[in-house]
Amino acid sequence: MNNPLVSVIIPTYNRAWTLEAAVDSVLAQEYPNVELLVVDDGSTDETPALLGRYGDTIRILTLENGGVSRARNHGISASTGEFIAFLDSDDSWLPGKLTEQVGFFEKNPDALICQTEEIWIRNGKRVNPCKHHKKPSGDIFEASLHLCLVSPSAVMMRRSLFGAVGLFDESLPACEDYDLWLRIACHYPVYTTPSPLVVKHGGHDDQLSKTPLLDRFRIQSMARLLEREALSAPQKEATRAVLQKKGRIYAGGCLKHGREEEAVTINRMVEEALQGTSV
């Protein structure tokens, strides 16, 4: 493939304390043809000064704070590579990450997206992922309905894939990646390469995965999926089943904690999505 250009996009907001390690891990990649775009989503900490030290080795895009989906989408639009890779600003890569994935695409020219395995660090200590977090490879759609099985920091995709499925949904304050992976996986295989080449850090307070009420956004994503995507009959049946289950559990939790209005909203969302589809 003659070393096609890989565009790496790091969205960041007030993470000067960890951003340097992320940027340095991209600049240390063995793969020779990389453009790195750091999208500063309105940081008010030392992020601008930190990024300024890198000079023209990176491209810095500065936005008013608008959320991670908008930042990633802005980076995609500004990038020029044949391949797109994302890195969260609290994660880092081992040096062979991009080389392994570009090599995978060279050997599998019909593939549109792949991800690597990960090393998990939580509160400074290495942990083993639970069995249900094991990444499948190929047709991952039904498994992905239950929980997010694709990591933004591990994924690489052909630019053409965004033309087919669209960008990140900027209306979602969280679970925006879950939403995009479902829209991809209902039409295309998502492959996993074997090497753990991403160091994924967790446990700190500003992670989006700690956003309250995450299942609300997953329910919203599945409801839209039923409405907008041309799902196969088995995919539709699986989506309906998971949507019903998650909706029932979430609405029940809302009622238990005195959020009656939220429960009504979720029940209505689920009911309308189910009424609008048939298996």
The CATH number assigned to the domain holding 87 equals 3.90.550.10
Query: In angstroms, rounded to a whole number, what is the distance separating the alpha carbons of residues 8 and 1?
Result: 18
Q: Is residue 1 one of the residues assigned to a domain?
A: no
Same domain, 175 and 41: yes
Q: Give SS3 for 31.
A: coil
For residue 195, give its domain range.
Answer: 6-206
Q: Give SS3 for 268.
A: helix
Instruction: Please give the structure tokens belonging to residue 184.
Output: 């991809």
Same domain, 201 and 220: no
Same domain, 247 and 197: no
Instruction: Please give the pLDDT value at position 177.
Output: 96
Same domain, 233 and 146: no
Query: In angstroms, rounded to a whole number, what is the distance separating the alpha carbons of residues 52 and 65?
Result: 19
The DSSP output letter for 231 is -
Q: Is residue 146 one of the residues assigned to a domain?
A: yes
Instruction: Please give the pLDDT value at position 123.
Output: 80
Number of domains in the chain: 2
Instruction: Please give the pLDDT value at position 124.
Output: 80
Instruction: Please give the pLDDT value at position 205.
Output: 62
- Looking at 176, 206, 236, the residue that finishes a domain is 206
Contact 38, 60 (CB under 8 A): yes
Instruction: Please give the pLDDT value at position 193.
Output: 96
Tens digit of each residue's pLDDT (9 = 90 or more) over 238-267 = 999 999 999 999 999 999 999 999 999 999
Regions of the chain where pLDDT drops below 50:
210
Instruction: Tell me phi and psi for residue 68, to 5 degrees.
Output: -70, -35
- Looking at 164, 182, 206, the residue that finishes a domain is 206
Contact 179, 216 (CB under 8 A): no
Query: In angstroms, rounded to a whole number, what is the distance separating the alpha carbons of residues 28 and 126?
Result: 22
Same domain, 149 and 176: yes
pTM value is 0.92
- Looking at 206, 233, 253, the residue that finishes a domain is 206
Instruction: Please give the pLDDT value at position 82.
Output: 98
Q: Is the dihedral of CA 151, 153, 158, 159 positive or negative?
A: positive
